């Protein structure tokens, strides 16, 4: 395919790429930018970056519908990467992710979840006697703490993990002051969830903070990293 494209005009090549992207999204409506780029690179030696097709030295803007679809799919896969194991965890991801349908996030078997890194990091912080502001230290480590149904949950953005802190024996009384959110969630299915704006702001600030690190502007993506409004996943393809 790449060799055949050498004999086609710019317009013909771009038309084939556009048709290919449409066909791939028609075949898989949840296709992420990362997966699409794997296919594009194999077929055309091209890729999508920041909502644009990288074509030679050009960056051609994708149509708005495709940009929005990829943006949404990237966010959805990022949320799924937290591997929720029950309705409460799924409800929380659904709420702050602002996705269309909670069923788009799947509950996974507990055997697929590996929170060891998060748990060990939490224990290290809890046991550090020199820390005077535990919540601040947790936040600096990429974690956000909130309450749901009377229990404290930790979202670890660096390791993409959610855990119930009581399940691992943490003294959550040390975190009572100024909790991000107090949420009442039914154990089976949510009907009306309210998350305090402080939690939303904490997440947004954390993601902005992470954007300053290497590849930090790609945080929403599974297998890569991307903010869901910054469609960009070509780093492996260009190596």
Same domain, 103 and 196: yes
Same domain, 55 and 120: no
On whether both 68 and 185 belong to a single domain, the answer is no
Residues 157 and 201 in one domain: yes
Check whether residue 188 and residue 104 sit in a common domain: yes
In a domain, 221, yes or no: no
* Structural domain includes residue 22: yes
Rounded distance, CA 79 to CA 94, Å? 8
Provide φ and ψ at 119, rounded to 5°: -65, -45
Same domain assignment for residues 61 and 149: no
Say if residues 72 and 145 touch (Cβ distance below 8 Å): no
Considering 27, 51, 75, which residue would you say is the last residue of a domain? 75
Q: Which range of residues forms the domain containing residue 179?
A: 83-210
- Hunting for tokens 């996974």 — which residue is that? 108
Tokens of 209: 């903070």
Whether residue 129 sits in one domain with residue 71: no
The answer to whether residues 71 and 154 belong to one domain is no
Same domain, 185 and 95: yes
The DSSP code sequence of the chain is -HHHHTTS-HHHHHHHHHHHHHHHHHH-TT--HHHHHHHHHHHHS-EEETTEEEETTEEEEPPHHHHHHHHHHHHHHHHHTT---SHHHHHHHHHHHT-S-GGGS----GGG---HHHHHHHHHHHH-TT-S-HHHHHHHTTEEEEEETTEEEEEETTTTEEEEGGGGT--GGGG-TT-S-EE---SS--S-----HHHHHHHHHHHHHHTTSTTTTBTT-SSS-B-TTS-B--TTTT-
Regarding whether 206 and 116 lie in a shared domain, the answer is yes
- The SS3 call for residue 163 is strand
Q: For position 199, what pLDDT does the model report? A: 55
Q: Are residues 71 and 96 in the same domain?
A: no
User: Does some domain include residue 225?
Assistant: no
| Rounded Cα distance, 108 and 129, in Å | 36
Question: What pLDDT is stored for residue 175 in this prediction?
Answer: 82
Q: Write down the residue that tokens 């960009």 correspond to.
A: 232
Q: Are residues 88 and 206 in the same domain?
A: yes
**Per-residue pLDDT tens digits for 71-112:** 999 999 999 999 999 999 999 899 878 898 999 999 999 988
- Kindly report, residue by residue over 195-229, the tens digit of the pLDDT: 555 555 555 555 554 444 434 334 333 333 433 33
pLDDT band of 153, cuts 50, 70, 90: very high
- Per cent of the chain over pLDDT 90 is 53
Q: Tell me, what's the pLDDT at 48?
A: 96
pLDDT in tens, 21-59: 999 999 999 999 999 999 999 999 999 999 999 988 899
Domain membership flag for residue 223: no
* Helix (H) or strand (E) run with residue 123 in it: helix 116-127
Number of domains forming the structure of the chain: 2
Is residue 46 in some structural domain? yes
The answer to whether the pTM exceeds 0.85 is no
């Amino acid at each position: 395919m790449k060799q055949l494209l050498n004999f086609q005009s710019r317009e013909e090549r771009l038309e084939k790429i556009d048709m290919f992207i449409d066909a791939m999204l028609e075949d898989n409506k949840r296709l992420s930018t990362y997966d699409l780029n794997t296919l594009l690179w194999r077929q055309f030696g091209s890729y999508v970056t920041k909502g644009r097709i990288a074509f030679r030295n050009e960056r051609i803007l994708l149509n708005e519908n495709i940009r929005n679809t990829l943006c949404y799919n990237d966010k959805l896969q990022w949320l799924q990467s937290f591997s929720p194991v029950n309705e409460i965890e799924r409800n929380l991801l659904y709420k702050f992710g602002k996705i269309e349908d909670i069923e788009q996030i799947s509950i996974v078997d507990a055997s697929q979840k590996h929170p060891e890194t998060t748990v060990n990091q939490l224990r290290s912080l809890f046991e550090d006697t020199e820390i005077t502001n535990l919540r601040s230290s947790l936040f600096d480590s990429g974690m956000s703490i909130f309450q749901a149904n009377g229990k404290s949950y930790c979202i670890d953005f660096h390791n993409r993990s959610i855990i119930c802190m009581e399940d691992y024996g943490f003294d959550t009384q040390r975190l009572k002051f100024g909790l991000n959110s107090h949420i009442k969630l039914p154990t089976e299915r949510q009907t009306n969830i309210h998350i305090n704006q402080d939690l939303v702001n904490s997440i947004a600030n954390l993601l902005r903070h992470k954007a300053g690190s290497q590849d930090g502007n790609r945080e929403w993506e599974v297998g890569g990293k991307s903010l869901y409004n910054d469609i960009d996943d070509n780093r492996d393809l260009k190596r």
